[in-house]
Amino acid sequence: MGSNQNPKRFNTDHCFEQNPGNASSPPLQSITSAIIENIQDIALATDRQGNIIYANPAAYRLSGYDQQDLLGRPFGCLFEIDEDQRRHINRCLQQNCRQTLMSAAIRKDGSAFPVQLNVSSIQTTAKTKGLIFVAIDISAMRQAMEEQANLATAVEHAAEAIIVTDLEGTIEYVNPAFEQITGYSRTEVIERNINLLDSGHHDRSFYQAMWLTLRQGKIWQGRFINKGKNDSLYETEATISPIRDRSGNIKKLVSVQRDVSHEVRLEKQLRQAQKMEAIGTLAGGIAHDFNNLLMGIQGNVSLSLLDVEPGSALNKSLNKIEQLVQSGVDLTKQLLGFARGGKYEVSIINMNDLLQEQNLMFERTNKGVSFQDKFEKNLWSVEVDRGQIEQVVLNLYMNALQAMPGGGTILAQTENVKIDQDQYRPYHVKAGNYVKFTLSDSGIGMDQETQQRIFDPFFTTKEMGRGTGLGLASVYGIVKNHDGFINVHSEKGSGTRFEVYLPASEKSVFKKKRPMEKFIAGQEIVLLVDDEAMILDVGSRMLKKLGYEVLTARNGIEAVELYKKNQDKIDVVILDMVMPKMSGGDTFDRIKELNPTVKVLLSSGYSIDGQANEILARGCRGFIQKPFNMQSLSQNIRMVLESK
């Protein structure tokens, strides 16, 4: 750099032509110098060797250098220049051309910011050339571009379907989530109208209200039931926003739609499960009270049969009444099977064996139906009430047979499955191992409306008087009471498939013992506790007929006082489970405090549910289901008396 040159300013007068206009106008070079001095971008001039001979105020401000640090240094101290870019800069010097490069300006502290570097050659003397660098800070522009790119990436990877349309509903853009949810590809929907998704579930007023909101420039929120490419329906939660141009006019609409079909199904299943639980509680209460009434009838019939001649007309009438009572018992068993609780006698079984037995039985009596099986080897065992699970299979087979009046095929399958906790959340299923058995038929199938009601008590598709509507309701209840769950899949004309899941057991299968077939007399003292006067009356007479001495109590408080006075005499207590004032469980605990080895036979119009099992676990010796006859009473009371 010449010593006669001002280091702060660079004389650019010779670089530009003189203003040929009015002599009073400012010289062009003065205007140019003023512009360079005041622009907010870095402006540098270098000599032919690339050393800085001029820097504008913005260069100092943005770089952090002062004049002494910057002037005379190579331009490379301010910019990141690679070899390829350096060749382009040299070309400007040699060929008097211009280049635009993307680079970064380096501050004195070592930090950097992106710049667009515009390089051009200048004539500094008649024989010497130099370069002018103008570096435009593009940090904001690059940030905007990155944000735009991030936004585009977010839109492309969003889980929600994003649709851009014009005001007429013509589709201009959809993201990949739209393709996944609807089954349509982008090329299939671009430039088509959004009404291709219309399922027909929304009326004209629904769309009129939506479009009115949008044309007013307001955001619309709501739910659509849409139709996908394969005509399947899905439900979305949608937000549609109007997009305005710079003039404020609405030009486009952006719709963000979240597929909530799975959530809607879960909500429906949860509501169904809650409804079934409430109905089950009601059904259990009805069955309990009905069983108490049947107990009065059954007890009196059993006593009367002992006093009449076998084969007489009265004997036949009493036997007929007993059969009708048993029909009532079967009905309440179905109600109790549906209600909360309900396992009677638990044993370890193999579902392959049970299904094979049922297949053989039905195959003999239904010649028009082909029975097939596909059983898993080494199937896990289940801990269940065999009689109730047989009832489940029986009801499902009967349902299948009625769906195939002209014959068909029933397939029974079993498999071991593992389920995680979230897999069937609406059923409140515990994670773990399950045995799944599936019964499929080739019958007429069911529509969606029927499927939603098949487990409701007293719902039936049969003619009046042809069925109670309790078959599948009891199936649902029995499976639920075994901590299992059931799924149904069906379509009109395509058959029905029931999938039943039961918790697997690690215990080994053992053979069921056959019950005794006679009643046994006794001479012990029995305390009979029940809040129903009818039960106390008929129960006392049945026990006395069997040879027992009987004390009675009408509630738990009375029973505790009576036992306290006579505990040395009382051999066994027959205790009702459901009583006012003091429950059967509390009564048992109070009596057990008086005598830890007391022998108690629990009695209830309910079946063995959670409460009864808890009492049995605390030391109660046995359970007898109301209504019971002389034979059942005698066998159960002897079992308790002889227990150790």
Tens digit of each residue's pLDDT (9 = 90 or more) over 302-343: 778 777 788 788 878 887 887 787 777 666 666 665 554 444
* Structural domain 13-138, CATH architecture: 2-Layer Sandwich (3.30)
- d(CA 562, CA 455) in angstroms, rounded, equals 46
CATH class of 346-505: alpha beta
Q: Is the dihedral of CA 543, 547, 553, 558 positive or negative?
A: negative
Query: Which value, to the nearest 10 degrees, does the dihedral of the CA atoms of residues 384, 386, 391, 393 take?
Result: 80
In the numeric block, the tokens 């108490």 are attached to: 292
Percent of the chain scoring above 90 in pLDDT: 19
Res. 155: pLDDT tops 80: no
Average pLDDT over residues 426-440: 82
Average pLDDT over residues 608-626: 79
CATH number attached to the domain at 525-641: 3.40.50.2300
Residue ranges of the chain that CATH labels 3.30.565.10: 346-505
Task: Tell me whether residue 409 is exposed, middle or buried, using C-beta atoms within 10 angstroms of its C-beta: 0 to 12, 13 to 18, 19 or more.
Answer: middle
Q: How high is the mean pLDDT of the chain?
A: 80
The yes/no answer on whether domain 158-259 falls in CATH 3.30.390.30 is: no
Judge contact between 624 and 615, C-beta under 8 A: no
**pLDDT reported for residue 145:** 75
Res. 610: pLDDT tops 90: no
Residue ranges of the chain that CATH labels 3.40.50.2300: 525-641
Res. 277: pLDDT tops 80: no
Judge contact between 595 and 297, C-beta under 8 A: no
Which contacts qualify for 488-493: CB closer than 8 Å, 24 or more apart? 488/451, 488/454, 490/445, 490/446, 490/451, 491/445, 491/446, 492/444, 492/445, 492/446, 492/447, 493/444, 493/445
Tens digit of each residue's pLDDT (9 = 90 or more) over 464-480: 333 344 557 778 878 88
Res. 427: pLDDT tops 90: no
Tens digit of each residue's pLDDT (9 = 90 or more) over 486-534: 888 888 878 889 999 999 988 766 554 545 556 788 899 999 999 888 8
Judge contact between 310 and 262, C-beta under 8 A: no
| Cα–Cα nearest to 136, from 65, 58, 191, 210 | 58
**pLDDT reported for residue 493:** 79
Judge contact between 117 and 102, C-beta under 8 A: yes
Residue ranges of the chain that CATH labels 3.30.450.20: 13-138, 158-259
Judge contact between 200 and 194, C-beta under 8 A: no
- d(CA 250, CA 242) in angstroms, rounded, equals 6
